[in-house]
Structures are given as structure tokens and as C-alpha cells.
Amino acid sequence: MAQQLGRRFVLVDSNPEAIEVMQTRLLGDEVAWIDKTGAAIEPETSDRRRESTLI
């Protein structure tokens, strides 16, 4: 909803399945993906799933 309204938002999750769903839904949008250390990462596909935190 925030995205549809043009608002900024933060998503945080450590569940790999939830992260995969978010990455699928937000793929191609202007989203900054970072791991739990704050390092930038590329969105992962189901082939490259790893545990990370999404912000």
C-alpha cells in the first residue's frame, strides 16, 4: 500500500521465504536491498536463496 501511494517504507524480516515473496513482489522497483550487516545486495531468486534481512 505504501508503495502504491508513493510513500517510503522499510521492510525487515529474517524468514527466507518471506524475503523471497517480498523480492518477487518488489522486483524492478526502486528498492534498496541490504543484508543484516548493512551491505548492499542484489535481490535473490529462488535459485540463490540465503538468509538475510531486508530493509
The string of pLDDT tens digits covering residues 1-55 is 777 788 888 888 888 898 888 888 887 667 888 888 889 888 765 444 444 455 5
Which structural domain range is residue 32 located in? Answer: 1-55
Residue 47, pLDDT score = 47
Q: Does the predicted model carry a pTM greater than 0.85?
A: no
Domains in the chain, number: 1
Distance set, CA 52 to CA 4, 29, 41, 46, 48 (Å): 25, 19, 10, 13, 12
